[in-house]
């Protein structure tokens, strides 16, 4: 069994103790992080190695963005991808246990869902298209790929607390959903969580800091995803959202998603 966790940690240095707790709770072999907010030099590599993740692939430029792949198993073929001509540390990959694992952090896109009036929103759509082109141009349908991260898009009606209201809000607009669907089609990716949880069942991975009682209000969105290519479909053993981690102090506004993959020789 191979366990892969993905978490927008919202500052790896600020939540280093929480990361160690996640390692204990999830028993993850691989952890993909987003929004690490640390340069490569400032990344707490030694501390993370001390609690079991000696193999690390890191990309970061200071107090924003940043992605990483932490592993108990050796990492090879580490690559960093500067999409849209920006070297902004949002996509990194490494090979682990025969899989190409990608940690991806899609731009949030600002507040206004208008490509003419909001350059951040326009960049978000271009970024997603660039990632789709990357997968289509550099991989094949038979490749074993895991893409984990904060995609900043909640694609299904049950991925948001109010489909009608949120369809006019960045992260759930039709144009973003269409862009993400194109990225999904680039290699016929499988949304692992929705392989396990019916598409009509509400499930969220993000709750705003603004809510006084986020759990009571439950105005969440499913922004965090783990996708796999078709060759890994039959290896999906389970997917879980660790909602209780939203209570950890100081909280990230995101919670981890955990994927368990059977070994190739394990019975189904």
CATH classification of the domain holding 92: 3.60.10.10
* Contacts with 120 (C-beta within 8 Å, 6 or more apart), sequence order: 107, 108, 109, 110
Count of structural domains within the chain = 1
Predicted confidence (pLDDT) at residue 125 exceeds the cutoff of 70: yes
**pLDDT tens-place string over residues 221-236:** 999 999 999 999 999 9
Average pLDDT over residues 143-154: 98
CB-based contact 80:92 (threshold 8 Å): yes
CA–CA dist 243, 134 (Å, integer): 32
Residue 186 lies in a domain: yes
Residue 229 lies in a domain: yes
Residue 268 lies in a domain: no
- Percent of the chain past pLDDT 70, that is, above it, reads 99
Q: Is 151 exposed, middle or buried (0-12, 13-18, 19+ CB in 10 A)?
A: buried
- What confidence tier does 266 reach under pLDDT thresholds 50, 70, 90? low
Residue 236 lies in a domain: yes
Residue 267 lies in a domain: no
User: Which domain does 172 fall in, by range?
Assistant: 2-261
CA–CA dist 173, 249 (Å, integer): 31
Residue 180 lies in a domain: yes
CA–CA dist 50, 19 (Å, integer): 12
**pLDDT tens-place string over residues 72-88:** 999 999 999 999 999 88
Predicted confidence (pLDDT) at residue 67 exceeds the cutoff of 60: yes
Residue 77's CB is within 10 A of a number of other CB atoms, namely 10
Residue 79 lies in a domain: yes
DSSP H stretches of helix in 186-239: 192-196, 214-217
* Contacts with 180 (C-beta within 8 Å, 6 or more apart), sequence order: 128, 151, 153, 155
Predicted confidence (pLDDT) at residue 265 exceeds the cutoff of 50: no
Q: Give the long-range contacts of residues 78-83, CB within 8 A, separation 24 or more.
A: 81/134, 83/127, 83/130, 83/131, 83/134
Average pLDDT over residues 169-198: 98
Show the CA angle centred on residue 60, arms to residues 12 and 25, nearest 5°: 30
Average pLDDT over residues 48-57: 98
Residue 155 lies in a domain: yes
- What confidence tier does 61 reach under pLDDT thresholds 50, 70, 90? confident
ω into 250 cis (within 30 of 0): yes
pLDDT of residue 268: 39
- Sign of the Cα torsion 92, 108, 180, 261 reads positive
CA–CA dist 70, 79 (Å, integer): 14
């Amino acid at each position: 069994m191979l366990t892969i966790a993905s978490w927008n940690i919202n500052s790896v240095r600020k939540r280093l103790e929480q990361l160690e707790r996640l390692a204990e709770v999830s028993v993850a072999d691989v952890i993909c992080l987003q929004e690490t907010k640390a340069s490569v030099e400032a990344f707490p590599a030694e501390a993370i190695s001390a609690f079991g993740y000696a193999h690390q692939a890191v990309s970061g430029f200071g107090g924003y963005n940043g992605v990483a792949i932490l592993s108990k198993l050796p990492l090879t073929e580490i690559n960093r991808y500067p999409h849209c001509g920006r070297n902004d540390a949002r996509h990194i990959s490494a090979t682990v246990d025969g899989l190409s694992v990608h940690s991806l952090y899609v731009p949030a896109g600002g507040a206004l869902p208008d490509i003419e009036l909001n350059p951040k929103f326009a960049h978000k759509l271009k970024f997603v298209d660039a990632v789709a082109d990357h997968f289509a141009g550099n991989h094949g349908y038979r490749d074993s790929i895991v893409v984990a991260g904060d995609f900043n898009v909640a694609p299904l009606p049950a991925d948001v607390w109010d489909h009608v209201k949120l369809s006019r809000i960045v992260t759930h607009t039709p144009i973003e959903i269409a862009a993400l669907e194109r990225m999904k089609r680039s290699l016929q990716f499988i949304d692992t969580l929705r392989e396990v949880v019916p598409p009509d069942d509400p499930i969220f991975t993000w709750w705003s800091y603004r809510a006084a009682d986020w759990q009571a209000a439950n105005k969440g969105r499913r922004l965090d995803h783990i996708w796999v290519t078709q060759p890994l479909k039959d290896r999906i053993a389970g997917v879980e959202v660790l909602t209780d981690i939203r209570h950890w102090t100081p909280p990230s506004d995101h919670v981890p998603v955990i994927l368990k993959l059977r070994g190739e020789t394990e019975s189904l």
